[in-house]
Amino acid sequence: MFIIFLLIGISVTVASGFLAAFLWAVKSGQYEDDYTPAVRMLFENEPASKSGGTEPKKA
Amino acid sequence: METALQTKIQTCYHCGDSCVDELIIAHDKSFCCAGCKSVYELLEENNLCTYYSLEDNPGISGKQPLAQARFAYLDDAGVEAQLINFKNDSICKLTFYVPQMHCSSCIWLLENLFKLNPGVAESTVNFLRKEVSLTYFHQKTSLRQVVELLAQIGYEPAITLADTDGKKETKKNYSLIYKLGIAGFCFGNVMLLAFPDYLALGEEVQRDYGRFFGYLSVLLSLPVFFYSARGFFESAWQGIRQHMINIDLPIATGLLALFITSLYQILTNTGAGYLDSFTGLVFFMLIGKYFQQKTYDTLSFDRDYTSYFPVSVTVLKENGEEESVAVRNLKVSDRIRIRNQELIPADAMLLHGTAMIDYSFVSGESEPVEKVVGEVIYAGGRQVGESVELEVVKEVSQGYLTQLWNNSVFSKNEEQSMESYANVAGKWFIIVTLLVAAGALVYWVPRDTSMAMKAFTSVLIIACPCALSLSTPFVHGNTLRIFGKNKFFLKNTSVVETLAKIDTVVFDKTGTLTEPSAAEVSYTGKVLTPAQEQSIKSVLSHSTHPLSQRIFHFIQGDTLEVQGFQEFAGKGVAGEVNGHFVRVGSAAYLGVNTSQEKDALKTTVYVSVDGVVLGYYTFFNVYRQGLKEVLQGLHIDKLAVLSGDNDHEAARLRELLGEEAELNFNQSPVQKLEYIKSLKNQQRHVLMVGDGLNDAGALKQSDAGIALTNSITNFSPSCDAILDATAFDKLSRFIGFSKKSMNIILASFAVSLIYNVVGLTLAVQGLFTPIISAILMPISSISVILFATLSVRFAARKAGL
């Protein structure tokens, strides 16, 4: 039954990974604006826009 | 094709306005003005017409032409330094507030600014806050050029004196989200580790793993105790120090008892503890707090006069050259030029031109006041009409408005209202809980000491009024959301409780009860022939005077050519149309004796054709739609109106508001404030509804101040709530609904009380076990949350909100 200790260790580690990811996301400002990114992703890239030649900027 | 287009009213391809005054056909599209057309051409040149395919008519009307050199002050290094957030050798970063932003096309265009100006490296929009964060290369372009570009395409950033006051605190506080995330993580894992206890997997499993699971749970609940739950302990401690009992005290006691008991049980290996309940409670209560903390980032509830003031003003140098100077650097005896619709930033003396000052911001007076050369004009007035020259007599910081604002009576100390429902209930809760716990202790000590300890702690644990503390934030949070959906925005949730207690409502008149942009015009005198009306309209079309404009819009039909048009400042206008000499203006101008007129206070404009006075136009206020319903729906015992205007509308107001209402006219901002103060001294709960800077003091002084605004992103004085003018007719329903939501809180108190009674019954008998706590605690929390949310929704639907 040693496996239980191992499994619990793994599960807590994985969960901690998600917690860390969440904290990082908050810190990096992803919770600052929860509306604009949803609109921005629907803008289509212009076909063959030679003028700039760059991709639309992402935040 | 042209004729086909003419048959119906065209709407502008760019801004969607109807092209009534002017119609420009270009590129097979119709535009309402040259401004809109040029923006379209600019976008088309740069392949940015996607702007028009995302939304219909997304543009902002370009009718108001931009003055050259308007942004010259941005070249000033000092101003620039105050606006910019970050600067290095190559790039500058800054954030602008762009109130015109309204649709996804706007986001798209603003984020593609780099195509219009290659000097812009990146622009990112935060739509909810209506902000654009810009990065630009300061070698390739300048701040002024970027702002000019924005203004040119219709998105002029709002740069006010407040922006240059120093960096405002934009950093959002995320600690609650962190706390919530950590509590959620620990709750989930502790719950998982507690499973073996519930499932009764047998002695063997319990013996082998019980200790390990227990220690791991303790480890996981430490961050919850020391970090996530800290706010409850701190708040309870603060309450004790101020000799006050708030709702957080019983919560903190409960949490402490829960944690210490669990710790003791696990460390002495006498039980499994209640750590899952502990972490769960903290998690649920933090959700409640998060819900309560919802804010409207886009709205600013705490503006002061600096938000109204421009950053720069045109200063005339000795050699006659114009220069843009930051308002802050304005000195006494500087000569400034104020153009149409510009705000006067400092007390100044009129040197040249005719000033028509619109003081609606400051005094609430709806009609512009005329000033003649030599008179001192106070800051805060807005010039209407021609541009004027003034000499500054006082620095901005010494001006009348600034002094008024800094007056100590204007600052209401925001004492925390401790008398909220939850806190009152909390006081009784802790008393009852302690009595019951002591009773259990007294009962058990002679019989069974270990049982006595268990019963005592159980009572403290189960009595933790988590459900009680959950109901308030959820009811208030949902109420706030429903109000927000109906365009009524509260500063925070405690305003709901304040609104529910209101028994006195005070209205400002101008701009609040009345429609600021509209005035009813009525004509008295000899009947005018259509030809005469047409000639009057034609003459007035040349005048920018606001009264001329109102009559101009009042008369239907086309205009004719006017010869020899003359405008006599402060008197009237004259001109010849079809050989008839038309004069329009004040009674004195036309030589009418007004002393016989009864209503000398009314604003009247006389007309004469070929020297014969025909009659006069009178202006009436237009009251907002739905005002009658609002007044009928308000179940309060006192109604009052404070107006900065004179009392010529008294009779109409009396008719609208009824005999009981108190009407006060010619009120200065300080008088309004004093009036509210005197009402409060009579122990009344006062709601003030106002719109202008002149109401700012009264709004602050009242228990709840509602600022009415035609556009919620526009400036409004500091207040507790902002109401969109289109939702004015719902005002009485909002207040009624606040009262209803307080009843819902009481009902959910009752629901949570049932759980507490059941739990206490078990606890005093010493029957409180981990399994019972595991079932009872989440159920009580969740059911209270559900009850609060659903009943608020249901009540809102019934109230038609």
| CATH number of this structure's domain B310-395 | 2.70.150.10
Short-list B158, B144, B156, CA closest to B79:
B144
Whether B104 sits inside 8 A of A42 (CB atoms) is: yes
* CA pair distance B736, B733, nearest whole angstrom: 5
When pLDDT is averaged across residues A16-44 and rounded to a whole number, the result is 86
Quickly state the pLDDT bin for A10 (edges 50, 70, 90): very high
Say if A30 is an interface residue toward chain B (CB within 8 Å).
no
Q: Which of B54, B115, B181 sits opposite A19 (nearest CB)?
A: B181
pLDDT at B490: 86
Q: Which residues in B lie closer than 8 A to residue A57 (C-beta atoms)?
A: 111, 114, 122-124
Q: Which residue has the tokens 């290369």?
A: B137
H runs (alpha helix) in B133-274:
143-152, 175-199, 203-223, 230-241, 248-267
Whether B114 sits inside 8 A of A18 (CB atoms) is: no
- The first and second tokens of residue B672, run together, are 């309004």
> How near does any CA of chain A get to the CA of B182, in Å?
7
pLDDT at B525: 82
The class of domain B72-159 in CATH terms is alpha beta
Q: Cβ-count burial of B482 within 10 angstroms (0-12 exposed, 13-18 middle, 19+ buried)?
A: buried
* CA pair distance B775, B588, nearest whole angstrom: 85
> How near does any CA of chain A get to the CA of B158, in Å?
20
Give, rounded to a whole angstrom, the gap between the first and last alpha carbons of chain A.
49
pLDDT at B716: 67
> How near does any CA of chain A get to the CA of B47, in Å?
8
User: Which of B66-70, B500-504, B642-646 is least confident?
Assistant: B66-70
Most confident by average pLDDT, B368-382, B412-426, B766-780: B368-382
Quickly state the pLDDT bin for B4 (edges 50, 70, 90): very low
Residue B505, phi then psi, degrees to nearest 5: -120, 130
- The first and second tokens of residue B147, run together, are 């702002």
Strand locations in B428-577 (E): 488-490, 504-508, 514-525, 563-568, 572-577
* CA pair distance A58, B123, nearest whole angstrom: 9
- The first and second tokens of residue B579, run together, are 């050989």
When pLDDT is averaged across residues B782-796 and rounded to a whole number, the result is 89
Most confident by average pLDDT, B302-316, B608-622, B763-777: B608-622
pLDDT at B380: 77
pLDDT at B714: 60
* CA pair distance B162, A10, nearest whole angstrom: 53
Residue B386 or residue B533, greater confidence: B533
Q: Cβ-count burial of B366 within 10 angstroms (0-12 exposed, 13-18 middle, 19+ buried)?
A: buried
Q: State percent of chain B over pLDDT 70.
A: 86
Residue B765, phi then psi, degrees to nearest 5: -85, 0
When pLDDT is averaged across residues B95-109 and rounded to a whole number, the result is 83
Q: Which domain holds residue A37?
A: 1-44
What is the b/e burial string over B726-753, where b = at least 16 CB atoms within 10 angstroms of the residue's CB? ebbbbbbbbbbbbebbbebbeebbebbe
What is the b/e burial string over B497-529, where b = at least 16 CB atoms within 10 angstroms of the residue's CB? bbbbbbebbbbbbbbbbbbbeebebebeeeebe
Q: Which of A15, A35, A52 sits opposite B189 (nearest CB)?
A: A15
Measured at the CA of B716, the angle between CA B714 and CA B717, to 5 degrees, comes to 160
Q: Cβ-count burial of B178 within 10 angstroms (0-12 exposed, 13-18 middle, 19+ buried)?
A: middle
pLDDT at B1: 41
Strand locations in B53-102 (E): 86-87, 91-97
> How near does any CA of chain A get to the CA of B186, in Å?
9
How high does pLDDT run on average in chain B?
80
Q: Which helix (H) or strand (E) holds B366?
A: none
User: Which of A6-20, B406-420, B525-539 is least confident?
Assistant: B406-420
- Specify whether the CB–CB gap between B279 and B186 falls below 8 A: yes
pLDDT at B9: 65
pLDDT at B790: 92
* CA pair distance A31, A22, nearest whole angstrom: 10
Quickly state the pLDDT bin for A23 (edges 50, 70, 90): very high
pLDDT at B520 over 70: yes
Quickly state the pLDDT bin for B305 (edges 50, 70, 90): low
Residue from B52, B102, B123, B125 to probe the interface with A (highest A Cβ count within 10 Å)? B125
* CA pair distance B272, B451, nearest whole angstrom: 17
> How near does any CA of chain A get to the CA of B122, in Å?
7
User: Which of B159-163, B575-579, B704-708, B792-796 is least confident?
Assistant: B159-163
- Which residue in chain A has the smallest CA separation from B47? A49
Q: Which helix (H) or strand (E) holds B440?
A: helix B421-444
Whether B111 sits inside 8 A of A57 (CB atoms) is: yes
Short-list B696, B688, B708, B704, CA closest to B306:
B696
Q: Which residues in A lie closer than 8 A to residue B123 (C-beta atoms)?
A: 57
Q: Which residues in A lie closer than 8 A to residue B174 (C-beta atoms)?
A: 26-27, 31
- Specify whether the CB–CB gap between B313 and B399 falls below 8 A: no
* CA pair distance B307, B720, nearest whole angstrom: 17
Residue B795 or residue B330, greater confidence: B795
Q: Which residue has the tokens 């002591």?
A: B438
pLDDT at A15: 92
The residues, any chain, with a CB within 8 Å of residue A32's CB and separated by 6 or more, are B126, B172
Whether B177 sits inside 8 A of A31 (CB atoms) is: yes
When pLDDT is averaged across residues B75-90 and rounded to a whole number, the result is 81
pLDDT at A8: 87
Whether B216 sits inside 8 A of A12 (CB atoms) is: yes
When pLDDT is averaged across residues B627-632 and rounded to a whole number, the result is 84
- Specify whether the CB–CB gap between B573 and B583 falls below 8 A: yes
pLDDT at A22: 93
Q: Which residues in B lie closer than 8 A to residue A12 (C-beta atoms)?
A: 189, 216
Whether B123 sits inside 8 A of A49 (CB atoms) is: no
Domain assignment present for residue A59? The answer is no
Whether B50 sits inside 8 A of A43 (CB atoms) is: yes
- Which residue in chain B has the smallest CA separation from A8? B193
Report the CATH architecture of B476-515+624-736.
3-Layer(aba) Sandwich (3.40)
Q: Which residues in B lie closer than 8 A to residue A40 (C-beta atoms)?
A: 107, 111, 125
Q: Which helix (H) or strand (E) holds B382?
A: strand B382-383
Say if A24 is an interface residue toward chain B (CB within 8 Å).
no
Whether A43 sits inside 8 A of B54 (CB atoms) is: yes
Whether B122 sits inside 8 A of A40 (CB atoms) is: no
Whether A36 sits inside 8 A of B115 (CB atoms) is: no
Q: Which residue has the tokens 């405008």?
A: B567
pLDDT at B359 over 90: no
- Which residue in chain B has the smallest CA separation from A18? B185
- The first and second tokens of residue B261, run together, are 């008991």
Report residue B427 CA to chain centroid gap: 34
A-B C-beta contacts closer than 8 Å = 72
Q: Which of B114, B178, B216 sits opposite A52 (nearest CB)?
A: B114
pLDDT at B7: 46
Whether B181 sits inside 8 A of A56 (CB atoms) is: no
- The first and second tokens of residue B572, run together, are 């009237």
| CA atoms within 13 A of residue B522's CA, in its CB half-sphere | 6
Whether A19 sits inside 8 A of B182 (CB atoms) is: yes
User: Can you name the residues that pair with B81 across neighbouring β-strands?
Assistant: none
The residues, any chain, with a CB within 8 Å of residue B731's CB and separated by 6 or more, are B630, B633, B634, B689, B706, B723
pLDDT at B342: 77
Q: Which helix (H) or strand (E) holds B599?
A: none
Domain assignment present for residue A40? The answer is yes
Q: Cβ-count burial of B659 within 10 angstroms (0-12 exposed, 13-18 middle, 19+ buried)?
A: exposed
Quickly state the pLDDT bin for B43 (edges 50, 70, 90): confident
Q: Which residues in B lie closer than 8 A to residue A34 (C-beta atoms)?
A: 128
pLDDT (tens digit per residue) in B657-708: 888 888 888 887 778 888 888 988 888 889 999 877 778 778 888 888 898 8
Residue B369, phi then psi, degrees to nearest 5: -100, 140
Say if A49 is an interface residue toward chain B (CB within 8 Å).
yes
pLDDT (tens digit per residue) in B306-325: 666 777 788 888 887 777 77
Residue B708, phi then psi, degrees to nearest 5: -95, 135
Domain boundary assignment for chain B: 72-159, 175-301+419-467, 310-395, 476-515+624-736, 516-622
* CA pair distance B585, B551, nearest whole angstrom: 11
pLDDT (tens digit per residue) in B452-472: 877 888 787 777 677 777 888
pLDDT (tens digit per residue) in B178-222: 999 999 999 999 988 887 777 666 666 667 777 888 899 999 999
* CA pair distance B380, B383, nearest whole angstrom: 10
Residue from B43, B45, B52, B124 to probe the interface with A (highest A Cβ count within 10 Å)? B124
Whether B126 sits inside 8 A of A33 (CB atoms) is: yes
Segment 127-146 of chain B within 8 Å of chain A by CB: 127-129
- Which residue in chain B has the smallest CA separation from A32? B172
* CA pair distance B508, B364, nearest whole angstrom: 8
Number of H helices, E strands in chain B: 26, 28
Segment 176-235 of chain B within 8 Å of chain A by CB: 177-178, 181-182, 185, 188-189, 192-193, 208-209, 212, 216
Give, rounded to a whole angstrom, the gap between the first and last alpha carbons of chain B.
47
Q: Which of A34, A39, A44 sits opposite B104 (nearest CB)?
A: A39
Q: Which residues in A lie closer than 8 A to residue B189 (C-beta atoms)?
A: 11-12, 15
- Which residue in chain B has the smallest CA separation from A52? B115
* CA pair distance B390, B410, nearest whole angstrom: 29
DSSP letter at B384 equals -
Report residue B570 CA to chain centroid gap: 37
- Which residue in chain A has the smallest CA separation from B170? A32
Q: Which residues in A lie closer than 8 A to residue B192 (C-beta atoms)?
A: 11
Q: What is the amino acid identity at position B770?
A: P
Instruction: Count up the domains in chain A and report the number.
Output: 1
Q: Which residue has the tokens 């709004």?
A: B699
The residues, any chain, with a CB within 8 Å of residue B637's CB and separated by 6 or more, are B503, B504
Of 3.40.1110.10, 3.40.50.720, 3.30.505.10, 3.40.50.300, the CATH number of B516-622 is: 3.40.1110.10
* CA pair distance B86, B328, nearest whole angstrom: 22
